Structure 1
Amino acid sequence: MPGPGSPDPVLRALDGLPTTAADYVQQRFPNDAAWFAHEVAAGRVRGDDGAVVTPATPYEAGASVWFHRPVPDEDAAPITLDVLYEDEWILAVDKPHGLCSTPKGENVRRSVVVAARCQFHNDEISALHRLDRSTGGVLLLCKHAADRGVFHRMFQERTVTKTYWAVARVNDRVGKEPVRVESRIRKIQGVVQAFEEPGDVNAVTDIRLLERFTDDAGQWGCYEIAPLTGRTHQIRVHMNSLGLPLRGDKLYPVPLDDFDVEDPDNPMQLIARSLTFTHPMTGEMITVSSRLSPSAHTARRSGASSELLTH
């Protein structure tokens, strides 16, 4: 919840701050005010510390309230997720290209988290990290709210090794030996692209060319990418900085008019290939690999020749 001086319609309309957290949310979303009041009364709204938000919980600038949004009846076919790994605490799925990791905007049912809750009949399932909507591949989910913290800490402490595959053009800046890209990346809310700017490095990516292949559209490369940090659009920004925008990317280097419309027959060629981590509950080293491949690209079906892309 924003504080004083923030560009927020509720705060601009009031002489002072809202009295309670519920007051703020109901005024911010008046069409859902009655529904939200019912959720608060039922004890289904939580604060940042996990405590139940009541009608009397005071407004606190900068704090958040957490609740499950109602799932609208979207005109979309049911989604069945491909399970790559599962134990009593977590499961890993192959996120399809074009599917949001978490509910966002109109994409509620068309998100991995909601699809998983429906498929596995478990309303506690949550995402431990996120992939861009246009990215496919390994996404790790937590089965139980009580276990989320210990698994989420792996990502906070950067003890998870992530590997991606991507398809882009080829040039002399990236070859078989890894190239490290280091820069400062910034993403402003409401601006669709992230960008590099001067300042301390906050984004580091290792990139190497696995192989070249040729199809009807010319010569391409399949790249192995290891992000060592997790900035928004980091791989897309760093590949673009090398003159190698990803195949099928509608956002970089220049946003297309339909950048927010996914094309299932021509997805952006970025795949979260694998996750490797030490299981915090068992101590076992786990590697989960995606079954997706750049061969899913339309161009591959139109005559690309490559040994790697058929694996």
Structure 2
Amino acid sequence: MGRQAEANAVVPLAPRDGVAPSYLWLPDGRWDGMLAFLVERFPDVDAEAWRARMARGDVVDGAGKPLGPGSPVRRGARIWYYRELAFETPIPFEVEILYRDEHLLVVDKPHFLPVIPSGRFLHQSALVRLKKSTGLAHLTPIHRLDRETAGVLIFSHNPASRGVYQSLFQKREIGKVYEALAAPLAGVSLPHVRRSRMVEGTPFFRMREVEGEPNSETLIEAIEARGEAVLYRLRPHTGRQHQLRVHMSALGAPIINDAFYPLALPCKGDDFTRPLQLLARSIGFTDPLTGQPRFFESARRLGGA
């Protein structure tokens, strides 16, 4: 199925409490029914939990027909289900709405809050919180922002115009400005342009620089001294995962409270008193529908949560 056809496919389960249903395509293999497959595929969810979901009709095929423990596993079929978590760590910071029209919702995201459900977060995500508070069923983020990063984040809630706004990011027609607190850069004249080739590293969630043609670029400027640190203005020309964090670390000034760079620290849970000192300060662009300039700026300030 092509991407457009898949996007237009009918979803047999309605969103529940702000959470859209998840789906997966069934692989080739031999299992003694759907329950055996799901237990193997999701080892953190026990059989009784899946039995309970099936009994409620929360696991269905592409036509919306409820699946039971003994339902056959047919390669290439798609099943739908609701993702559930036994426990989520509450994120004690709020998303602030900066702007809303018939196409876009622009918000000021706090540190620690993921943009979309992932891993150990479901309801504690910006997307689910905003779906609940606004009632916008078609809400979708049109760019990325790390969970650890705060600042301006743009959502689309109109499927008809979503593509034209997403294309702005794809064509790099968006002006993005970040701020970061880090140590003074020794031996580096500012402003400075950092270019490097970034690839996936180890562990899987980290990126690293390697030799080769650059695929990432950041303009780094100093704004002011903040005690023993410096407040930097960062202008990414590209949008690689963790690009700003990798570039600052590679220059010898990792962003304050970065638990991934230069070394991945052991996960001890979130310390809400020590947010990553990285902020998506502003986003500007020419609106593709009206031709008017748009500019959105965070009200947050680095140095606290």
TM exceeding 0.5: yes
* Residues 41-74 of structure 1, C-alpha deviations (whole Å, 9 max, x = no match): 339xxxxxxxxxxx999739xxx99987457774
Q: Structure 1 residues 279 and 25 mapped into 2: Cα distance closer, same or farther (>3 Å)?
A: farther
Structure 1 unpaired stretches of 5+: 2-9, 19-23, 44-54, 298-311
The yes-or-no answer on 1:220 pairing with 2:233 is no
Contact 2:61-2:79 within 8 A present in 1 as well: no
Cα separation, 2, equivalents of 1:137 and 1:174: 27
Q: Structure 1 residues 25 and 139 mapped into 2: Cα distance closer, same or farther (>3 Å)?
A: farther
Structure 2 unpaired stretches of 5+: 2-25, 32-36, 66-71
Counterpart secondary structure, 2:62: helix
- More divergent stretch after superposition (166-175 vs 147-156): 166-175
Alignment correspondent of 1:147: 161
Cα separation, 2, equivalents of 1:268 and 1:107: 18
Alignment correspondent of 1:264: 272
Cα separation, 2, equivalents of 1:164 and 1:285: 19
TM-score by length of 1: 0.73
Contact 1:184-1:200 within 8 A present in 2 as well: yes
Cα separation, 1, equivalents of 2:128 and 2:108: 14
Alignment correspondent of 1:296: 304
Cα separation, 1, equivalents of 2:137 and 2:257: 34
The yes-or-no answer on 1:238 pairing with 2:247 is yes
Alignment correspondent of 1:81: 95
Cα separation, 2, equivalents of 1:129 and 1:109: 20
Alignment correspondent of 1:14: 29
Identity of aligned residues (%): 33
Report the CA distance between 1:266 and its aligned residue. Answer: 1.2
Counterpart secondary structure, 1:42: coil
Q: Structure 1 residues 190 and 242 mapped into 2: Cα distance closer, same or farther (>3 Å)?
A: closer
Cα separation, 1, equivalents of 2:179 and 2:195: 19
Counterpart secondary structure, 1:101: coil
Match of 1:255 among 257, 261, 264: 264
Aligned residue pair count:
262
Report matched runs for 1:201-220 at 5 Å. Answer: 201-214=214-227, 219-220=228-229
Cα separation, 2, equivalents of 1:206 and 1:159: 16
The yes-or-no answer on 1:113 pairing with 2:127 is yes
Alignment correspondent of 1:59: 76
Counterpart secondary structure, 2:299: coil
Counterpart secondary structure, 1:41: coil
Report the CA distance between 1:76 and its aligned residue. Answer: 3.0
Report the CA distance between 1:190 and its aligned residue. Answer: 5.3
Alignment correspondent of 1:274: 282
Alignment correspondent of 2:5: none
Cα separation, 1, equivalents of 2:122 and 2:160: 23
Alignment correspondent of 2:177: 163
Where do 4+ consecutive residues of structure 1 move more than 6 Å? Answer: 24-27, 55-58, 64-68
The yes-or-no answer on 1:137 pairing with 2:145 is no
Alignment correspondent of 1:195: 208
Code of the aligned partner of 1:91: L
Report the CA distance between 1:257 and its aligned residue. Answer: 1.4
Alignment correspondent of 1:301: none
Cα separation, 1, equivalents of 2:135 and 2:85: 15
Report the CA distance between 1:130 and its aligned residue. Answer: 1.2
- More divergent stretch after superposition (219-228 vs 142-151): 142-151
Counterpart secondary structure, 1:296: coil
Report the CA distance between 1:189 and its aligned residue. Answer: 8.2
Q: Structure 1 residues 117 and 14 mapped into 2: Cα distance closer, same or farther (>3 Å)?
A: same
Cα separation, 2, equivalents of 1:148 and 1:66: 24
Q: Structure 1 residues 247 and 80 mapped into 2: Cα distance closer, same or farther (>3 Å)?
A: closer
Q: Structure 1 residues 78 and 211 mapped into 2: Cα distance closer, same or farther (>3 Å)?
A: closer
CA RMSD after TM alignment: 3.3
The yes-or-no answer on 1:42 pairing with 2:55 is no
Q: Structure 1 residues 207 and 57 mapped into 2: Cα distance closer, same or farther (>3 Å)?
A: farther
